[in-house]
Amino acid sequence: MIRKTIVLSGLIFSLAICSAYAGDENGGYAASFLEIPIGARAAAMGGAYMGISDDGAGLLYNPAGLANMKKKLFTTSYRAMKLDRSLAYISILFPTQGNSVLGVNWLYAGSGSVEARNSLGQLSGHDVSFNSHDFGILFAKRFENYLSAGLKINYFQSNFTEINSGTVGIDFGIMIYFDQFVDREKRDQMPVQNIQLGVAVKNIGARFVWSNGNYVRRYFGATQAREQVDNVPTEFAIGGAASFLNKTLNLAVDLLKHNKSHIRFHSGAEYLVDKKFAIRAGLSDGSFTAGTGYLFKLGGNTLAIDYAFSTDKAGEGEEHIFSFDILF
C-alpha cells in the first residue's frame, strides 16, 4: 500500500509541475511541427525527454542520449491527428566502436489537400497542400562515464503545392550522468538513481527561402514573383530525469524556449509494472497525456510496442500515437 501511494504521489507531482507553468499556444513560425512530441513513449510522458532520449525517438529530442545504444535499433512511429494532419518518423541506429552511435532518421509532417480558388472564389483546377520533411544524420559518443555528446545534421524540405524550399539545420546536445560521480557500491544503494541532465540547442542556422514565381506564372499568368525568408527559431532546451523505487519509477521534466514562443514546460512519469509492461502519464505544455508500453521477445530480437494518448489542445482534438521499436 505504501509503495502504491509513493508511485501515485510521484505521478501527480510530475504532472503538477507542468500544469503550474502552462502558457499560451505557440505557432505561426517556420517548422513549428518540430515542437510536437513524437514517439509514443516520449509523447506519453508529456514530451519530457531531454534527460532520457535513449531510444529511436531520441534523435528528435537530445542526440546525446543515444550514445549508450549497444544494439542496432529500428523505430517507426505514427501520430494520428485531427484536421487531416499526420506526423510520422522512421529512425535507424547503429552502434560503432568507442562507445559511439551512428543514426539516420526521416520525419514527415503533412496535411490533406484542399481545392484552390482564385480571387473570385472560382475553382482553379488544382489542389493546395502542405508537407514537410526532416532528413537527419546523427553521431553520438560517450566521452566519459559522466558525459556524452551528440550532433545531428538535418535537411529540412517543405512543399506548399508547387512552391518548395529546403534548408540545413544542426542540433547539438550533451548528457550529464550525475550518478557516475558516486562509487558504484554507494550508487546502487541510493534512493534516487539514474540522475541525468540533458541540454540541447536545436535548428541552428536553419532558414527557408520561398519564391512563388513558378506558381503564379503557371496558374495566374503573372510575371511578378515574391520572395520570403522564414528563419527557423533556434531552440534551447534543458531537461532532467531520475529513477526511484529501485528504478521502477522514472520522472522527467523539461524546459524549452526560443525567441518566438513562451517558455514551455513538459513533465512526465513512467512506472514499470514489471520488466515487460510500463504505464506512463504527463503534461505537454498544458495538455494531459498518457500511454503504455509492452516489451517482448521475437525470435532473437526484442520488440517494443508503445501507445500514447494526448488530450485536446486549442480545439485540435485528441490524438493517438503508436510506436514500434526492434532491437536486433
Residue whose cell numbers read 531552440: 235
Q: What are phi and psi of 82, to 5 degrees?
A: -75, 175
Tell me the three state secondary structure of residue 189.
Answer: helix
Question: Could you tell me the CA-to-CA distances from 80 to 57, 60, 131, 272, 327 in Å, in that order?
Answer: 17, 18, 15, 26, 25
Mean pLDDT, the chain, rounded, equals: 86
Per-residue pLDDT of 99-152, as tens digits, reads 999 999 999 998 777 777 766 777 777 777 788 999 999 999 999 999 999 999
Domain of residue 179, residue span: 2-327
Question: Could you tell me the CA-to-CA distances from 198 to 178, 180, 218 in Å, in that order?
Answer: 11, 15, 49
Per-residue pLDDT of 62-102, as tens digits, reads 999 999 999 999 999 999 887 778 899 999 999 999 899 99
In this prediction, residue 50 has a pLDDT band, given cuts at 50, 70 and 90, of very high
Q: Which of 4-8, 255-259, 304-308 has the lowest mean pLDDT?
A: 4-8
Cα 242 to Cα 114: distance, rounded to the nearest angstrom: 46
Tell me the three-class secondary structure of 14-76, residue by residue: HHHHHHHHCCCCCCCCCCHHHHCCCCHHHHHCCCCCCCCCCCHHHHHCCHHHHHHCCCCEEEE
CATH of the domain at 261: 2.40.160.60
Q: Are 170 and 156 in contact (CB under 8 A)?
A: no
- Residue 299 has a pLDDT of 83
- Residue 223 has a pLDDT of 65
How many domains does the chain contain in total?
1
H or E, element range at 256: strand 249-257
